[in-house]
Amino acid sequence: MHYPTHRLSRRLAACFALVGAATFAAAIPSASASLPRDWHFASGKDFATGDLDGLALHEESGLTVAPGLSRVNVDAELIHCWARDGRKVWLGTGLSAKVFVLEGGKVREVGKLPGALVGSLAPDGKGGVYAGTVGRGKIMHVNSRGVVTEVVKLDGVRHIWALVLKGGTLYAGTGRGGGVFAVDPAAKTAKLYAETGAEHVMTLIADGDALVAGTSDAATLVRITGENQAVAIAGFPGAEVRSVVRHGKALYASVNGGKSARSLATLRPTRRRPGGLSKTPLRRKKRVRKRVSGGKGAVWVRHDDGRIGRVFVSPEGMLTQLGAAGQGIVAGAARGGRVVIGDLQGGVVSLFDLDETQVLGVEMGPKGPRTLFTGKGAAVYTVGGVAKNPTFTTEVLRETGVSRWGRIAVGGAGKLIVETRSGYSNPPSDTWSKWQPLANERSQSPAATYLQVRVRFASPDARLWELRVFRRPFNRRPDITRVTIKPNPKTKTLRVNWSARDPDGGKLGYVLTYRKRGSKQWIMLHDRFYTKTSMTLSPRDMPDGWYELRVMATDALTNAPSEALSSAKISAPFLVDQGRPDVTAQVRDGVLTGVAADRASNVVRVVVSFDGEPPVLTRCGDGLCDAKQEAFELKLPPDLLKGRHTLLIQATDEAGNTGVQRLVIGG
């Protein structure tokens, strides 16, 4: 739209003089909506929002190719515990309490236990395994042929979270009550060995000649050196110690805040689960954006000399089982399907990105994770070699409107192949464009509202530490939502207010013009863009009549002229009336009659005052004052017919202007 560029004449400038100081845009603002925007991935938190297939996420230095994984499905909801026995691995599952054996890359079910969850496992050294149940408080035995027998039912115990076989005695960490029981498997007897003062003993390990227990709902470490000889050696901020591992001259503990042990005992089956006998296909998980309050996990250390410190905070929420390798501490994450590796200086790497959202167990090898055990649903992953087709895929990137996609700047090393696709739905559907490689570092995907970027790591040494995705939304028209004009009878000015918004967030400029109603020509009130949203007008010398005001909003301040858009809104008609009504009156036969007339607006009121007394309202000719010329009459009181009297006749128009006639009657 073209704007008139002529300036007001001196007379019109004086007629519509701005009252007070008006601020005009002298230059284009430095922050412009026309500048490209970008999505910037430069830290571990940025990359963690996407999908990492076969990649390791370093919190500070980006993504690298991860070790390879080989998956074996388990017909269960989750693998809660595991125990290696030579070449085979025992698996305890939920939410139906089953025991499986992993051997030679294959999984077979060997027993069904009472309750909903196998809480703990301990090999018996003879080819079988002891299993503690959650919900029933029983310790069961499963032999190599799969025969299940009950060893003992612990009095007053519902959950058996940990089992350790030491010197022919089976020790059980339990809840509620937080007791550690000593069990004689041969005699099938048990006694309370030590009390921890907590609700649950979540983990129990042999540490030299002693036992070390990790507890909840008080997150403490307790050393047990003999019967009824339990001493707390560390306390941590949080709700539970989920796992403990000895590494050198220190104990390391995974500590979670806000998630009590009881949550595992009250799990419910998911409606759909991957793997097993279910025909439901494995679905990609939805990345959790908002961290659940209290669901943080951290690794803490308790040195043998008594010093306590925090090693690292998990970027993936709650932590499950710990392991130690070299100079690192490894933990499974209960959210996000990640394995967290932290060095002893606080650096963190997120390894793998599994379709199952819980890594509930990690078996360590000499150089790092060897086997992973998952929940939602249950699977065993064997770690080895190099990941196949490692790929980073961003989350669905959303613009507020339709956007064109620009250059994609990649900071990395090795061979990286970048592709994009775009569409109008979230999640992506078949209506999206196909994946297309870049051309001259620029996206070839069509303009749309949503975009995804995929980076394929095509060499083992490939590394990605920065990704910038430039885009520019198509310009959208500003919107004026309101224009109001309010007269001020005292100052004889007009207050104009309006509101407008730019959907692209740019700065708006305004052009105000006016015209007499019925005229085609709009006249500008200023010579540069006006940037406020109110104006006070003083039309002192303006010819009387009805006018309209137009407010035009434009984003030309933040867009090139060829792309700038505008919208306009016209006010309701407003009256400019500076003239007073003319009044002509006379008295005949005791009746006051006359005519009040105004050139611009209706006469709305005629009153008469006798000798300075309060005024009396007259009657218009047809009983209603609603025209520019009104006849009026008033029968005078009898006492005014004698002597000399002064009548003051006042007529008022719609603009509040008052015309007066002074009339003297009598001798």
Mean residue pLDDT across the chain? 85
**Residue 575: band (very low, low, confident or very high) from pLDDT cuts 50, 70, 90:** confident
Residue 98's pLDDT is: 95
Q: Do both 480 and 469 map to the same domain?
A: no
Name the domain boundary from 382, 408, 441.
382
Name the domain boundary from 575, 609, 628.
575
Q: Is the pLDDT of residue 340 over 90?
A: no
Q: Is 135 within the bounds of a domain?
A: no
Relative to beta strand 297-303, strand 250-256 is antiparallel
Residue 6's pLDDT is: 32
Query: Residues 154-181: pLDDT tens digits?
Result: 999 999 999 999 989 999 999 889 999 9
Q: Do both 500 and 547 map to the same domain?
A: yes
3-state secondary structure 179-200: EEEEEECCCCEEEEEEECCCCE
Q: Do both 507 and 428 map to the same domain?
A: no
CA 293 to chain centre: 14
Q: Is 644 within the bounds of a domain?
A: yes
Residue 621's pLDDT is: 83
Residue 376's pLDDT is: 84
Please give the Cα distance from 318 to 256 (Å, whole number): 6
**Residue 35: band (very low, low, confident or very high) from pLDDT cuts 50, 70, 90:** low
Cα dist. 636→357, 606, 631, 642 in Å? 97, 15, 16, 11
Name the domain boundary from 352, 382, 412.
382
Helices (H), 208-299: 262-265
Q: Is the pLDDT of residue 356 over 60?
A: yes
Q: Is the pLDDT of residue 10 over 50?
A: no
Q: Is the pLDDT of residue 14 over 50?
A: no
Q: Is the pLDDT of residue 111 over 70?
A: yes
**Residue 263: band (very low, low, confident or very high) from pLDDT cuts 50, 70, 90:** very low
Q: Is the pLDDT of residue 29 over 80?
A: no
pLDDT, mean of residues 552-566? 89
Dihedral of CA 575/576/580/584: which sign? negative
Torsion of CA 194, 197, 203, 207, to 10 degrees: -50
Q: Do both 589 and 565 map to the same domain?
A: no
Q: Do both 337 and 363 map to the same domain?
A: yes
Residue 351's pLDDT is: 84
Within 10 A of 526 (CB to CB), how many other CB atoms are there? 18
**Residue 366: band (very low, low, confident or very high) from pLDDT cuts 50, 70, 90:** confident
Residue 667's pLDDT is: 63
530 Rama sector, left if φ>0, alpha if ψ -120 to 50, beta otherwise: beta
CB 311 within 8 A of CB 329: yes
Dihedral of CA 435/439/442/444: which sign? negative
Query: Residues 264-323: pLDDT tens digits?
Result: 333 333 333 232 333 333 333 333 333 333 458 899 999 999 999 999 888 878 888 898
Q: Do both 571 and 608 map to the same domain?
A: no
Q: Is 142 within the bounds of a domain?
A: no
CB 537 within 8 A of CB 494: yes
**Residue 448: band (very low, low, confident or very high) from pLDDT cuts 50, 70, 90:** very high
Dihedral of CA 438/443/448/450: which sign? positive
pLDDT, mean of residues 18-24? 33
Residue 656's pLDDT is: 83
Residue 295's pLDDT is: 59
Q: Do both 614 and 556 map to the same domain?
A: no
Residue 95's pLDDT is: 83
Residue 328's pLDDT is: 83
Q: Do both 607 and 568 map to the same domain?
A: no
Please give the Cα distance from 404 to 570 (Å, whole number): 34
Within 10 A of 449 (CB to CB), how many other CB atoms are there? 18
Q: Where are the beta strands (DSSP E) in 318-378?
A: 319-325, 328-333, 339-343, 348-351, 358-364, 369-375
> 344-348, 424-428, 438-442, 467-471: which range is least confident on average?
344-348
Query: Residues 614-642: pLDDT tens digits?
Result: 999 998 888 889 898 999 999 988 888 88
For a pLDDT cut of 70, what percent of the chain falls above it? 89
Residue 294's pLDDT is: 41
Q: Do both 624 and 661 map to the same domain?
A: yes
Q: Which of 202-206, 288-292, 491-495, 633-637 has the highest mean pLDDT?
A: 202-206
**Residue 431: band (very low, low, confident or very high) from pLDDT cuts 50, 70, 90:** very high
Residue 271's pLDDT is: 35
pLDDT, mean of residues 184-203? 95
Q: Is 376 within the bounds of a domain?
A: yes
Taking the model in full, what pTM does it have? 0.65
**Residue 2: band (very low, low, confident or very high) from pLDDT cuts 50, 70, 90:** very low
Q: Do both 394 and 452 map to the same domain?
A: yes
Q: Is 29 within the bounds of a domain?
A: yes
Q: Is 54 within the bounds of a domain?
A: yes
Q: Do both 480 and 467 map to the same domain?
A: no
- Domain containing 342 equals 314-382
Residue 34's pLDDT is: 53
Vertex 273, ends 272 and 276: CA angle to 5°? 130
Q: Is 548 within the bounds of a domain?
A: yes
Q: How many domains does the chain have?
A: 4
Query: Residues 584-611: pLDDT tens digits?
Result: 999 988 899 999 999 888 999 999 999 8
Residue 368's pLDDT is: 84
Q: Is 49 within the bounds of a domain?
A: yes
Structure token pair of residue 631? 């006849």
Query: Residues 638-663: pLDDT tens digits?
Result: 888 888 899 999 999 887 889 999 99
Residue 100's pLDDT is: 96
For residue 523, give the CATH number of its domain. Answer: 2.60.40.10
Q: Is 16 helix (H, G, I), strand (E, B) or coil?
A: strand
Within 10 A of 60 (CB to CB), how many other CB atoms are there? 11
pLDDT, mean of residues 29-38? 58
Query: Residues 50-66: pLDDT tens digits?
Result: 999 999 988 777 899 99
**Residue 39: band (very low, low, confident or very high) from pLDDT cuts 50, 70, 90:** very high
**Residue 343: band (very low, low, confident or very high) from pLDDT cuts 50, 70, 90:** confident
Residue 335's pLDDT is: 73
pLDDT, mean of residues 91-111? 93
For residue 640, give the CATH number of its domain. Answer: 2.60.40.650
Q: Do both 356 and 318 map to the same domain?
A: yes
